Amino acid sequence: MPSANTLYSSPDLYDLFSTGVPGDTGYFARLAAGAGRVLELACGTGRTLIPMARAGAKVTGIELAPDMFKACRDKVAAAGLERKVTLHRGDMRRFALKQTFPLVVIPYRAFQHLLDVRDQRACLECCREHLTRQGRLVINLFDPNLNILAANLTHHGSAARNVGSVKTPDGGRITALATRVPCPEEQYVVEDWVFEKFDRQGNSQWRKSRVFSLRYFFRYEMEHLFELCGLRVEKLEGGFQGQPYRHGGEQVWTVRR
Ligand SMILES: C[S@@+](CC[C@H](N)C(=O)[O-])C[C@H]1O[C@@H](n2cnc3c(N)ncnc32)[C@H](O)[C@@H]1O
């Protein structure tokens, strides 16, 4: 098993570089407004949770990493949304909230942190238990791109790719370079992101490495997993802007109990 997801001990770095999938915050906000109440699993620092609350929904969030949880709580307070939001520090593989929801969401690949089939099933079964009879579960995953996976295998890990460069208030910048090591037997990749802070003269001030692992799921594997957990597929879309499902893009699943 790979080491822990250390990216989530640095919510500030997460927020700078993890900006989501195009259109996702608006998509979840519209769904949440329509449903009235929503449960978000692995809500992180509130990137999708806060827009759902701002759209008028009552939002319950579950988050495991203490630093992400605290950052989310602080942002909810700063936005004056405490009355709309309930946060629990907890694990998406095992939770019991004693209430059901018309909408449960797992945005931005968070489900892909569950590397083990038992954990995936435990999470989906918990989701099912927390859905109302007509309720919907929406999960976003990336669709494994066979070209990228094959290229990484050939090189025993990818070449470093530039994730981005963000200006800081002191006139400097923080850059992020990522490498990916695949484990095809277990169907996951380990991402190693190296962040580097430069001052306004371009001198390096610090470097930090943060890792995380993502399981990849093929389309019909997900269909089987849902069926095994008592969930039926309503639709599979290829993104948040009405795209059809295509290889190597996004998987946006809507399932019901
Ligand atoms: C990619 S982030 C997504 C955060 C947020 N939903 C967003 O869209 O920005 C994944 C989150 O999953 C959380 N996480 C990982 N495993 C978890 C688990 N077993 N239970 C709850 N949260 C978990 C991480 O701590 C992290 O905050």
DSSP string, 154-202: HTTSPPPEEEEEEE-TTS-EEEEEEEEEEETTTTEEEEEEEEEEE-TTS
Q: How far is CA 98 from CA 16, 91, 124, in A?
A: 35, 15, 16
pLDDT band per the 50, 70, 90 thresholds, residue 153: confident
What is the per-residue pLDDT for 64?
A: 98
Ligand 1 midpoint to CA 144 (Å): 20
CATH code (residue 252): 3.40.50.150
How many CB atoms are located within 10 Å of the residue 131 CB?
A: 20
The response to whether residue 105 sits with its C-beta less than 6 Å from ligand 1 reads: no
Q: Are 85 and 49 in contact (CB under 8 A)?
A: yes
Residue 1 lies inside a defined structural domain of this protein: no
What are the structure tokens assigned to 232, written together? 């039926």
| In a shared domain, residues 112 and 160 | no
Q: What domain range includes position 96?
A: 6-144+216-256
Mean pLDDT of 183-187: 92
The contacts of residue 203 (CB under 8 Å, 6+ apart) are none
Atom of ligand 1 nearest to the CA of 62: 21
Q: Out of 72-76, 146-150, 211-215, which region has the weakest mean confidence (pLDDT)?
A: 146-150
What is the model's pLDDT at position 160?
A: 87
Which pTM does this prediction carry? Answer: 0.96
C-beta of 42 in contact with ligand 1 (< 6 A): yes
CATH number of the domain to which 194 belongs: 2.20.25
Residues 198 and 114 in one domain: no
Q: Is the pLDDT at 150 greater than 90, yes or no?
A: no
Indicate the burial class of 256 (C-beta count within 10 angstroms; 0-12, 13-18, 19 or more).
Answer: middle
> What pLDDT is attached to residue 155?
65
Identify the residue whose C-alpha is closest to ligand 1 atom 4: 44
How much of the chain is in helix, strand and coil states, percent to nearest 5?
30, 35, 35
**Residue 36: inside a domain:** yes
- Domain co-membership, 134 together with 241: yes
95 and 18 part of one domain: yes
Q: Is the CB of 64 under 6 A from ligand 1?
A: yes
Name the residue of 10, 67, 68, 113 to mutate for ligand 1: max ligand atoms within 8 A of Cβ.
113
123 found inside a domain: yes
pLDDT of residue 13: 97
Q: What is the tally of structural domains in the chain? A: 2
Nearest CA to ligand 1 atom 26: 44
65 CB near ligand 1 (under 6 Å) = yes
pLDDT band at 256 (very low <50, low <70, confident <90, very high): very high
Any domain includes 249: yes
For residues 163-176, average pLDDT = 96
* Same domain membership, residue 231 and residue 203: no
What pLDDT shows up at residue 148?
Answer: 87
Query: Ligand 1 mean position to 42 CA, how many Å?
Result: 4
Query: What's the gap in Å between 108 CA and the centre of ligand 1?
Result: 8
